Structure 1
Amino acid sequence: MQRLLAAITITAVVHGHVCAAEAPGAEFNPGAFKLQRGPANELLVLGTAHLSQLPKTFDPANLSLLMDRLASWQPKAIAIEALSGPQCAFLRGYRERYADTVKSYCWDPAPAAIATGLDVPGATAQVDRLLAAWPSAPSAGQRRKLASLFLAAGEPASATVQWLRLPADERHAGDGLNDQLVEILNGLREKRNEDYLIAAQLAARCGHERVYPMDDHTSDFDVADEKGYGEAIMKAWNNPFSAARKRDDETLRGGLATPAGVLAMYRAYNAGSAAERVFRADFGAALEEPSPQHFGRSYVGYWETRNLRMASNIREAVSLRPGSRTLVIVGASHKGYLESYLNQMHDVRVVSTDTLLRAE
């Protein structure tokens, strides 16, 4: 396979030189050249609030109407804003640069490593082998085993999917799960985070075996002048668009006591005008901030790089099931960027959330 890809790459480079000698034509837009035969990969990006940041009075039961709508779309795969086990293993190898990133965003697989005797690469390889031969009706023991491997591989949301797919009386230790891991899984079921309360729950409901972490933090960087950087960005954020966005958020969060109110919040976060509002309040303001060090441009560069790498991870997951539906659940500020980048893919069709989130 590697030799074939190398040969294709060489051919493409040679042909590229030939094309370069020709007269320039219209700008090439990959998104204008869509798949002509067979069903496209449908992609729905759901912009979300981070549930951990909602008021403590928020009752996750009020996600019910949103969950029903998402289930009705019948996604075949769900991608989440989380770092994969392999990426976290990579980041741990560069402690000087990524120590804070690992602390903030990476699952600690140590308890599962003790229980299974496997590190992240070993557990990931076993997960891949198991899923490649996964039966249509796995036993409870097989699900417990896969849950333990997902935890050791640094994929706690996927482990939670397996846990949720077990009957309640089968959620116990055994097959790689010790009492500590059982306690961890029971805690993850209730964690106030969209990866667990929405994505894992929905994946289990739809009969999936896993979710797909697609976040990326390899563009995280240290700033020599943290104080100056922070002050410059905060000053940029002090603008009328940001103030209006904050007022709207407060109004929306005041209605979270009912399923209809939760759906209204998601409808607002995913409206067609939301992406430009996010840009003007945040990244557009930072882009133009006047510090001599160009702090804002560094921030925007990080943001664009992160979204591009997230988009590539989603693209990879989509490619595993040609012609199927993939739901992406991501912080609302990412939605417009991911839709724009992924709409450039030849066999991807970005689906609007308007109909799905409509008011009753």
Structure 2
Amino acid sequence: MTGEELRVFRHRLGGLTQEQFALWLNDRLGKRIDNARISKWESGGERIPKEIAAFIASQQLPARILAFTNQKGGVGKTTTAINIAASLAGSGRRVLLVDADPQASASESLGVPLVDLYRERRTLPHVLLDAAPVDDALIPVGNFTLLPSHIDLAKADGVREPGTEMLLRECLAPLRQRFDHIIIDGPPNLGMMTLMTLTAADEVFVPVRTEPMDTMGLALMQDTIAKVQRRLNPGLRLAGILPTQFRRRKSVDKQILDLLIASLGATVPVLAPIDDNSAFGKANLNYKPAVELYPDAAGVATYRELAAAIAAGTSLPLAQASTVTGG
């Protein structure tokens, strides 16, 4: 086991600090390891003992839950969720995509028979609002699994029961041992389903178009995430801002990207932008993820790189300022 693999394992435990990880190991192995030793193992300063490596290799960790959400629609949120899910599944991971948007964009984009599923009570609103069995609503789609949505999910905004924000988290809890990654496509608003999404997630990514009006709502989204962290889900982490529909020959896109990096880069990662490409629309018409049909196309390949970093637990690809010619 390498130091990087150990760091990835620690991250997947819930982002434990080295001190917390040392306590976690000591509790399970009856050891007296301190955080300085963890640091040396991860940096390569000391070889990881075989006993420690064998114990970690034997552990089956629960799935990390990744949410892709923004209160604004049309930012590539669903396209991102679908292509990240398909990319992770393509590398051999067990992946569940949860369509938590009442518009059911992900479900429709993947061509599942929503009318039939609704009649059979096999959609997310049936699971969340009517206590239908979640296993009945898991639909194989290509190389991953889908938990489909329906417009009835909008009724969640009218629920006023105590702990409503926890419903999606409770729904996904028994599935975490059955999947390696759970991806949530959140709704384009700041209603109850967004709160459920953020409460259920371990990490949240915020897709945003490189358009002036689209970036203005980022502060509100960040404020909502911060409130959920304080009140409902202290383990939630803002993993990055993902610029989408990026036009490399347009000076306004370059300026917006530079602005995002300058204003957020020191505190929130601004990820490598997803190029605007007709491949996404063509794939949608064929009810397939673009990473399956056009894996090397501009933008599509960036999704594959992002998914590879997520799977490996390595640094996510970051945007670079001033790399685009004006036009």
Q: What TM-score results when the alignment is normalised by the length of structure 1?
A: 0.25
**Between structures 1 and 2, the one with greater strand share:** 2
